[in-house]
Copies of this chain bind each other. A is one copy, B any other.
């Protein structure tokens, strides 16, 4: 008899067990990156956080590099997923420009981006890690662009839309990495408000939405 998917825990198929612990380990790795930084992301700690023994970890990821590589991929799909969810909520928004901007900001909040930042920086010193990042980063950005253009057809036509999104992402990332640990949420919010205003102004110029009477033209 087939034990059925998701039967309590008495008997799971090998593949289920395997997938479950792999997921546990990958999530723990992300958690570790966020809480202890790349330097503090050790196999011991990851196993502990995942609630599995170090032996299990080694079984699935023979070397630490294997685990981190897998984490890169894991994070990439997680980011794409988060972005997609946010984008869906904005479908058919009346004023897509500010909406897209806020969406971008929200996408970069939370642990997923923090872990990614750790990997970006660490990749500079680790060639194989850099290769992994290089391979999966376009996937995230590509997905985001794809959906953005699908959801904002009015803007999608404009050739500058893509560039504007890139610049917006760069601003957000610059703010977040140079902020000391988000120690002061107020300061962070103020920085974003300033940048947001600038990005909206830029959008007006780029997309020719200044219309007949916005500023002296």
Contact = CB atoms under 8 A, between A and B. Distances in A.
A56 interface: no
Interface of A, helix, strand, loop or mixed by DSSP: helix
Given A167-B194, A170-B171, A171-B170, A180 B40 contact: no
A121 B170 contact: no
A45 to B, nearest CB: 12
A111 to B, nearest CB: 11
A73 to B, nearest CB: 15
B177 A177 contact: yes
Interface string A35-73: 111111000000000000000000000000000000000
Interface residues of A, number: 50
Nearest to A116: B178
A86 to B, nearest CB: 19
Nearest to A117: B121
Contacts of A173: 173-174, 177-178
A133 interface: yes
29 contacts: A37-B122, A37-B124, A37-B126, A38-B121, A39-B39, A39-B122, A39-B125, A117-B177, A118-B121, A123-B180, A123-B181, A137-B180, A163-B194, A164-B198, A166-B191, A166-B195, A167-B198, A170-B191, A171-B174, A172-B174, A174-B177, A177-B177, A198-B202, A201-B202, A201-B205, A202-B202, A202-B205, A210-B216, A211-B216
